[in-house]
């Protein structure tokens, strides 16, 4: 008798040994800036609910009304029987926020990236991709069949060299970049990337998952932050982070969106976004516009957290120099703040310590990132007390190791 599945157990044991093994933890109650896990209330520094809208009673009421009218599911693909007026309203609201001619809504951000990349390029074409891009961009690139060349993270000189070396051998070219790199919190150099795109006749696709609803004067994202939202590009984003729902989108020219409706398989051959998710995202965008103070509150919170971390680390400079923790705060301009730690075992024990002391934060390890880190994400609805509590516990952890 053979056993074709024995390798799975072996692979799992390897994951455990490398401290790479991951599992889910149930959040029993979600209240935004706090969550309940194992019966205890924790400060939530691990959510992508940047604007704090996932618990907003007005959104919840809109979702209930949408379900009453349209039912629990879209019941079909958009081109057949799954299209509702709500979908179009959401697409128009996204296009208006982004300042583009049109937008198309996918059932997740991951599917939006798969759909757009595979529709835009194929085996005759070239993709240049930032090495730190999100998994969905990387897998979309692979699925497209295009030649993929990674460039060093946010390294424009490397991107330019690679374009000048190989661009002419391919028909179309697509440059892929995260707007805000989700595991680091830094922003891509969008204007310079667009310039290179112009110079080398390359399309540019930016993933605004962590920047839409976070960056820019009105929260339109990275493109607005840099004042280049009217330059031609493919702006992808998700509805599952700042917009407190589920789903993804691509915004751009009317032609681009029309083309995607005809060629993006992950849109054509999947069920439309559920009425509940559609209504939640639509409501979130209108609240972002109506209550712009959420954006400034989010930025203030991120600034307060980084200041407090830097103050604590500089007061512990002696300890940090002598120790082997290799603890340092990574540069961030966004709602994501990371503390780099020397290895996976340390960050896992750090995460456990924080959890026991009432702080919920993400311990991120390889293979997700090259170097382990504690990843903190801010919300507009955090109060200074929540951040102070984290700093207090972090100081205790430093003393304990
Ligand atoms: C979360 C995320 C996605 C995927 O979005 P979902 O809507 O959760 O599928 C894509 N790109 C980036 C950069 C992300 O952070």
Domain ranges of the chain: 57-290, 293-400
Q: What is the CB neighbour count within 10 angstroms for residue 386?
A: 19
Q: Spelled out in words, what is the top-level CATH class assigned to the domain 293-400?
A: alpha beta
Cα of 182 vs centre of ligand 1, distance in Å, is 9
Q: Report the separation in Å between the CA atom of 107 and the middle of ligand 1, taken as the mean of its atom positions.
A: 12
**pLDDT for res 316:** 81
Stretch 66-79: mean pLDDT, rounded?
Answer: 97
Dist CA 340 CA 66 (whole Å): 43
State the virtual CA torsion across 24, 108, 49, 206 in degrees, nearest 10.
120
| pLDDT band per the 50, 70, 90 thresholds, residue 19 | confident
Q: How far apart are CA 145 and CA 133, in angstroms?
A: 18
pLDDT on residue 315:
87
What is the CB < 6 Å shell around ligand 1? Answer: 108-110, 113, 134, 136, 178, 182, 207, 209-210, 238, 240, 248
- Rounded distance, CA 271 to CA 81, Å? 9
pLDDT on residue 321: 65
Work out the angle at residue 238's Cα, subtended by the Cα atoms of residues 237 and 243, and round it to the nearest 5 degrees. Answer: 120
User: Counting atoms of ligand 1 from 1, which one is nearest the CA of 179?
Assistant: 13
Average pLDDT of the chain is 96
Provide the whole-model pTM. 0.95
Residue percentage of the chain with pLDDT more than 90: 90
pLDDT tens per residue, range 218-238 = 999 999 999 998 999 999 999
- Tell me the mean pLDDT in the region 370-377: 95
Q: For the segment 186-205, what is each residue's pLDDT rounded down to a tens digit? A: 999 999 999 999 999 999 99
Per the omega criterion (within 30 degrees of 0), is the bond before 367 cis?
A: yes
CA of 71 to the centre of ligand 1 (A): 26
Please give the pLDDT value at position 174: 98
- CATH number of the structural domain 57-290: 3.40.640.10
- Residue-wise pLDDT for 388-401, tens only, equals 999 999 999 998 88
Closest-CA residue, ligand 1 atom 14, reads 209
Tell me which residue has tokens 């005809």.
262
Q: Convert the pLDDT of each residue in 133-177 to its tens digit.
A: 999 999 999 999 999 999 999 999 999 999 999 999 999 999 999
Kindly give the distance from the C-alpha atom of residue 168 to the centroid of ligand 1, in angstroms, as a whole number. Answer: 32
């Amino acid at each position: 008798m053979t056993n074709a599945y024995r390798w799975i157990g072996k692979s799992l044991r390897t994951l455990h040994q490398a401290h790479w093994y991951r599992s889910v933890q149930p959040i029993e109650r979600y209240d935004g800036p706090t969550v309940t896990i194992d019966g205890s209330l924790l400060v939530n520094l691990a959510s992508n609910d940047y604007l704090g809208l996932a618990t907003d009673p007005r959104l919840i009421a809109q979702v209930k009304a949408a379900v009453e009218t349209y039912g629990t599911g879209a019941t079909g693909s958009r081109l057949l029987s799954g299209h509702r007026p709500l979908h179009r309203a959401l697409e128009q609201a996204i296009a208006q926020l982004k300042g583009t001619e049109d937008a198309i809504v996918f059932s997740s951000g991951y599917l939006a990236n798969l759909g757009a990349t595979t529709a835009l390029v194929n085996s005759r074409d070239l993709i240049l991709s930032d090495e730190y891009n999100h998994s969905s961009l990387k897998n979309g690139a692979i699925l497209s069949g295009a030649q993929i060349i990674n460039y060093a993270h946010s390294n424009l000189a490397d991107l330019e060299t690679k374009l000048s070396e190989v661009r002419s051998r391919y028909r179309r070219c697509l440059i892929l970049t995260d707007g805000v790199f989700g595991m680091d919190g830094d922003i891509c150099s969008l204007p310079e990337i667009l310039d290179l795109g112009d110079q080398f006749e390359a399309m540019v696709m930016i993933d605004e998952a962590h920047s839409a609803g976070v960056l820019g004067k009105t929260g339109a994202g990275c493109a607005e932050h840099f004042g280049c939202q009217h330059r031609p590009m493919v702006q992808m984003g998700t509805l599952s982070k700042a917009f407190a729902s589920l789903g993804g989108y691509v915004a751009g020219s009317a032609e681009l969106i029309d083309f995607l409706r005809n060629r993006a398989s992950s849109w054509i051959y999947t069920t439309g976004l559920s009425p509940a998710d559609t209504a939640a995202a639509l409501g979130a965008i209108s609240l972002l516009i109506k209550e712009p103070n959420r954006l400034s509150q989010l930025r203030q919170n991120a600034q307060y957290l980084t200041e407090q971390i830097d103050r604590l680390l500089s007061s512990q400079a002696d300890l940090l120099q002598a120790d082997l923790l290799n603890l340092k705060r990574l540069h961030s301009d966004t709602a994501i703040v990371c503390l780099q730690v020397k290895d996976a075992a340390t960050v896992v024990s750090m995460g456990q310590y924080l959890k026991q002391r009432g702080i919920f934060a993400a311990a991120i390890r390889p293979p997700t990132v090259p170097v382990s880190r504690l990843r903190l994400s801010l919300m507009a609805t955090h109060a200074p007390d929540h951040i102070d509590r984290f700093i207090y516990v972090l100081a205790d952890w430093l003393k304990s190791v």
